[in-house]
Amino acid sequence: MLLMNTGLTIKELTDAVGGGLTPRMVRHYHQLGLIPQPVRSPSNYRLYTKKDVLRLQRIVALKQQGFQLNHIRHILEVEPEADATTLTAQLQQQYRAVMQQISQLRQTASALEGLLGRDRHCQIMQAEVLAQLKLLDIETQAGLGGLEQLWSGLDAGVHTHSEAFSESLQRLLPDLSNRSEIEQHLISQLVLACGDVSLVSFVKLSKDAIAASRKALKSGCQVVVDVPTVAAALDQTRLVHLGCQVETLIDNPHVTTVTEAELAFWQHQEWREKLQQVTKDCVLVIGYAPSVLLEASQAIANQKIQPALVIGMPIGFSHAPAAKRQLTQSNVPFITIEGSLGGGALAATTLNSLVESLIEKPDCHCYTKDTAIPLG
């Protein structure tokens, strides 16, 4: 084994970098030009320097944040002395390229969903379409017209019956057998709420989230939401039967957008103070304002509030991802959606799914204690 002052072997290099890096990955990075070829020892061993360690640590860190290798190469190629404008322009160019790839992949996914999402009532027509797709000549204008006819024929079946969502999800969802039935149902409901199967990869639950939510809801805990729109989407019928009262943090019916919610929370100290006073073991549901989740995470860290569960799904492109990362690092049970994805509908769907696991749908003629208005 070589000494540190004579250079690191590839095994010593991967041990120094950490992060799951392997010698095979290092050799792949050489081929891609991510790191330069090292000098060789008299015995033809690769010898690496501290500079190589630092560069690989940057690569590993960027990969863990979601950057692809070709984008990492562009980032590393920018000279350190380059100004922020230059780097921003390069990152914008990379972002546009990624979004174009996502758009193309989304079109492919939509076409596959259009076939795989068919239920048993459409299977005969689906089989015919799959057989004709093999023979389709898309190089000609007639071929393109034939493709439209195939879709028209397949779509003709949708007028004969309602859509069978459970059958579609069975074909489209990834394997969720390692998750509990309640989690599987929750994820299915979230996918149906937004129509995007890729959402599954971004849904994150703490290990104790389901158990904590069930305990709190069965005890008739308070449910605190960030804006009236989220409150309006909750399953009030079941919540009433459980004895759970809903409290709206930003209690202003005119706040209906993410921008309005974010500004309102910043501009009114009363709502920030109200957040600091939520009851112990409540369920906190945040679907709009990133700053509400940031403030809540800080209050939890400072032990000022102790919710039983936080459903943190605000929308945003900088503050929201940061708020969600802070939530996942807290010691409170949580359910969130990584990145910028989220929204009031998904936050409400999450709580509704949890409540549904506790109580069957009450009869439609039931009434709330306060308003005496049918909620079923």
- Domain CATH for 53: 1.10.1660.10
User: Reduced to 3 states, what is the DSSP secondary structure of residue 205?
Assistant: strand
Residues 6+ apart with CB under 8 A from 109: 197, 198
Whether residues 211 and 322 share a domain: the answer is yes
Whether residues 42 and 141 share a domain: the answer is no
Among 68, 67, 70, 90, residue whose Cα is nearest residue 78 = 90
CB count within 10 Å of CB 230 equals 29
- Cβ atoms of residues 288 and 271 within 8 Å: no
- Domain-terminating residue out of 47, 77, 107: 77
Whether residues 289 and 346 share a domain: the answer is yes
Whether residues 181 and 57 share a domain: the answer is no
Instruction: Give 205-263 pLDDT, tens digit per residue.
Output: 999 999 999 999 999 999 999 999 999 999 999 999 999 999 999 999 999 999 999 99
Give domain status of residue 192, yes or no: yes
What is the domain count for the chain? 3
Instruction: Give 261-275 pLDDT, tens digit per residue.
Output: 999 998 989 999 999
- Cβ atoms of residues 288 and 263 within 8 Å: no
Give domain status of residue 161, yes or no: yes
29's tokens: 């990075």
Query: Where in the sequence is the domain holding 55, given as residue range(s)?
Result: 4-77
The set of long-range contacts for 209-214, using a CB threshold of 8 Å and a minimum separation of 24, is 209/309, 209/333, 209/334, 209/335, 210/180, 210/182, 210/183, 210/354, 211/333, 212/308, 212/309, 212/333, 213/283, 213/308, 213/309, 213/333, 213/335, 213/354, 214/354, 214/357, 214/358
CB count within 10 Å of CB 197 equals 18
Instruction: Please give the full DSSP string across 244-296, using - where no structure is assigned.
Output: PPEEESS--TT--SHHHHHHHHHH-HHHHHHHTTPPTT-EEEE-S-HHHHHHH
- Domain-terminating residue out of 57, 77, 97: 77
Give domain status of residue 366, yes or no: no
pLDDT of residue 90: 77
Residues in a beta bridge with 286: 312
Whether residues 165 and 134 share a domain: the answer is yes
CB count within 10 Å of CB 217 equals 24
Whether residues 200 and 302 share a domain: the answer is yes
- Domain-terminating residue out of 156, 172, 188: 172
Q: Distance from CA of residue 227 to its chain's centroid?
A: 21
Give domain status of residue 365, yes or no: no
> What's the pTM?
0.76
Give domain status of residue 111, yes or no: no
CB count within 10 Å of CB 32 equals 11
Whether residues 190 and 327 share a domain: the answer is yes
Would you give per-residue pLDDT tens digits along the chain (376 residues)? 444 457 889 999 999 998 889 999 999 999 988 898 988 888 888 899 999 999 999 898 888 877 888 888 878 876 655 666 777 787 788 888 888 888 888 887 887 777 777 666 565 555 666 666 655 554 444 444 555 666 676 666 667 778 778 888 888 899 999 999 999 999 999 999 999 999 999 999 999 999 999 999 999 999 999 999 999 999 999 999 999 999 999 999 999 999 999 999 989 899 999 999 999 999 999 999 999 999 999 999 999 999 999 999 999 999 999 999 999 999 999 999 999 999 999 999 999 999 999 987 766 445 444 443 333 3
User: Reduced to 3 states, what is the DSSP secondary structure of residue 333?
Assistant: coil
In whole angstroms, how far apart are CA 128 and each of 90, 135, 161, 198, 336?
47, 11, 19, 28, 42
pLDDT of residue 131: 62
In eight-state DSSP terms, residue 39 is E
Whether residues 145 and 195 share a domain: the answer is no
341's tokens: 């994805």
Give domain status of residue 135, yes or no: yes
Give the separation between CA 175 and CA 173, rounded to whole angstroms: 7
- Cβ atoms of residues 323 and 265 within 8 Å: no
Whether residues 150 and 273 share a domain: the answer is no
Whether residues 135 and 181 share a domain: the answer is no
Whether residues 240 and 345 share a domain: the answer is yes
